[in-house]
Amino acid sequence: MADELLVGRICLVTGSSRGIGLGAARALAAHGGTVILHGRDEGALRSALASLDSPGRHHIVTADLSDHEAIERLAVESAKCCGILHVLIHSAGILGPKVPLATYPVAAWNEVIHLNLRVPFLLTKALLPVLRKGDRPSVVFLSSGAGRRGHGGWGAYSVSKFGVEGLTQVWADELRGEGIRVNAVNPGGTRTRMRALAYPGEDPETLPTPDDIAPVFVWLARADTQVTGQNLDARDWLGRQPVA
């Protein structure tokens, strides 16, 4: 059954109190997965938890990943929840200012590179012991079209996503022999708060919702999906079921 695709699989989704992370978490839960929700705001996390199928099956961990100690705490608390991890989806991230590099604030640069690139590296590294306990584990990074071709004004966000592309490929190559799959997903334009900040004049009703693009995350979370080292476009999965 479609709703049993992920039964028994433990899934951590960072930045899942809203947006793409929450859309992915809802889809994982709807297909039987047990989800560890992460965010900075406990109230928002509890609201997100209530929107999942069978909320009592899932967990929340509050951590502000701009704090170095919080990264380790998220890893420790996630491991403590279940003792094993099958799926890790890195959805947490920020846009940063859209200004030319010549005037880009150094503090903002450091924050964006830290949250979008350094945190996914450090958290994956910290969670490898529990991922190695899982059956056919899957790690998913969020990429972007801005990480495939640089455009003026996208600054540290674009650079961080180029880094995510490389991070995905290196992790995939290094972990292939252990059966740990590592892929990236480019969500494309999606109806989120970050998208509204990037394109303030855009009509959000013209964009798919985070729930619309979630099937690709379910497909990558499956134990029998084979791909690794790939960058998938979530829009290719609009209207599809993650069963084929």
Q: What is the pLDDT of residue 179?
A: 96
Please identify every residue annotated as catalytic.
157
**pLDDT at residue number 134:** 94
| Alpha carbon distance 163, 222 (integer Å) | 26
State the pLDDT at residue 216.
96
Give yes or no for a contact between 3 and 32, defined as CB atoms under 8 angstroms apart: yes
Dist CA 11 CA 208 (whole Å): 24
Whole-model pTM: value is 0.94
- The closest of 10, 228, 242, 26 to 140, measured between CA atoms, is 228
First to last CA, the chain: 12
pLDDT of residue 43: 97
Nearest to 230 by CA among 199, 187, 185: 185
What are the contacts of 66-70 at 24+ separation with CB within 8 A? 66/111, 66/114, 66/115
Domains and CATH numbers, the chain: 2-237 (3.40.50.720)
pLDDT computed for residue 202 by the predictor: 87
Share of the chain above pLDDT 90, in %: 83
Give the whole-angstrom CA distance, residue 109 versus residue 113. Answer: 6
Residue 196 CB partners (closer than 8 Å, separation 6+): 202, 204
| Beta strand spans in the chain (E) | 10-13, 34-39, 59-62, 87-90, 138-142, 181-186, 231-233
User: What pLDDT sits at residue 2?
Assistant: 53
pLDDT lower than 50: segments of the chain: 1
